[in-house]
Amino acid sequence: MRCPPPAALVALLVVALCLGASGAGRVAASTDFDYPAVFNFGDSNSDTGGRVAAGLESISPPYGSTYFGVPSGRFCDGRLIIDFLLEAMGMPFVNAYLDSVGAPNFRTGVNFAQAGCSITPANPTSVSPFSFGLQIKQFFAFKDKVNYLLSKGDHRQYIPQADYFAQGLYMFDIGQNDLAGQFYSKSEDQVIASIPTILLEFETGLKKLYEQGARKFWIHNTGPLGCLPQNIALFGKDPSQLDELHCVAKHNRAAKLFNLQLHALCTKLRGEFAGASITYVDIYTIKYSLIANYSRYGFEKATEACCGYGGPPLNYDGRVPCGQTKSLNGKLVTAKGCSDSTEYVNWDGIHYTEAANFHIASQILTGKYSDPSFVDKMPFVIKPRF
């Protein structure tokens, strides 16, 4: 397996040269990024094992093969963006809230993200029942239990201290499924018309967290949905529906309008949440630039799945998920992983590879894709571990 994509590595080494080297593959962060705990809410983009722990789905090799050696509950061959960001803050990976196996340690935070979840409340046809509102309820149940255990003096080494809830970072990467799921039954105009309702639900959740003491918010916008092989395969059969990158144009238009309104919401809440910091991160631009300039960043395939079935140009067939064997036309076929996932941006038709996640995290850490920007602070020194 080759090294990380050269451009991503160069970007991180530039930061290292600015600040000097750190040890043990970790990252030295400024006090501005010194959080005692992280509380994450989201979907599969940041799910570190919640859906699998809930028993809603099992995943098999080659998931997890790049870094963990076995499936880790992540819908990826290795680490996710959140994993790299936590490494950058010198923190351990965050455990899934529902994962009770192996004595999970929640002292530095907990992850409520669930693959397939949406911001809006789940319905009988939803992929996951764990909507954003339910994740918020799980957080409050977690906080109440932690405070109870602290009052009894129990399990202090495994749970956050009481002040961690006010000092911790609240991270959000959610909304993709609200948009993508609607395209199966609704027009582009109908999907776009639903965005204010989706964001009202998101705002309600943020306000509940703020009222309970959350003060530091880190919010990712949604990526270019039209560039996922799954959506290209289903909605891109008519070339006139594709953009210059051969992505489904209507999906990307909806994502950009969602992000525009999400950005406006973040700006509004800064004026309403006294004493709070709200960082909006433009994931869309980072991912779209990666797909548009994939070869510059050391990748060889932009919209072809590493783990899939069907071969080029997409290597995606929704009937044969990654790692599974199915019968098609009386023949058993298997969706296998590629020989080198670092050559691919996309992992399984829906999610990104570890190498792509590494690149995306490296771009986030430059600070220039955030509002407010922290590019002038350049707080991170990273020595990538591959």
Beta strand 370-371 pairing with 277-281: antiparallel
Count of H helices and E strands in the chain? 12, 10
Q: Determine the pLDDT at residue 100.
A: 75
Q: Identify the residue with better confidence: 179 or 5.
A: 179
Q: Which of 76-85, 120-129, 300-309, 369-378 has the lowest mean pLDDT?
A: 369-378
> Residue 82: its pLDDT value, please?
98
Q: In Å, what is the CA distance from 40 to each residue of 88, 124, 170, 171, 377?
A: 16, 25, 6, 5, 24
Q: Which of 43, 44, 46, 99 is catalytic?
A: 44
Q: For every residue of 99-136, which 3-state class applies, written as one string? A: CCCCCCCCCCEEECCCCCCCCCCCCCCCCCCCCHHHHH
pLDDT of 80 strictly over 90: yes
Identify whether the C-beta of residue 104 lies closer than 8 Å to the C-beta of residue 83: no
Sign of the dihedral defined by the CA atoms of residues 139, 222, 321, 125, in that order: positive
Q: Is 295 a catalytic residue?
A: no
| Backbone phi and psi for residue 260, each to the nearest 5 degrees, phi listed first | -60, -45
Across 218-226, average pLDDT: 98
Question: Is pLDDT of 44 > 70?
Answer: yes
* Average pLDDT score over the chain: 90
CA distances from 3 to 8, 59, 107, 337, 341 (A): 10, 26, 33, 19, 11
Residue 284 has pLDDT above 80, yes or no: yes
From 77, 351, 362, 370, active-site residue:
351
* pLDDT-derived band at 17, boundaries 50, 70, 90: very low
Tens digits of per-residue pLDDT, 138-193? 999 999 999 999 999 978 889 999 999 999 999 999 999 999 999 999 999 999 99
What share of residues in the chain are helix, strand, coil (percent, to 5)? Answer: 40, 15, 50
Q: Which 3 state secondary structure label does DSSP give 139? A: helix
pLDDT value of residue 374? 84
When pLDDT is cut at 50, 70 and 90, the band that residue 116 belongs to is very high
Higher pLDDT, 268 or 124: 268
Tell whether the model's pLDDT for residue 103 goes beyond 70. no
Q: Does residue 320 register a pLDDT over 60?
A: yes
Q: What is the pLDDT of residue 378?
A: 53
DSSP classification of residue 1: -
Catalytic residue among 77, 83, 99, 348: 348
Nearest to 288 by CA among 228, 350, 241: 228
Mark whether 151 is an active-site residue. Answer: no
* Residue 220 known to be catalytic: no
Backbone angles phi, psi at 36, to 5 degrees: -75, -20
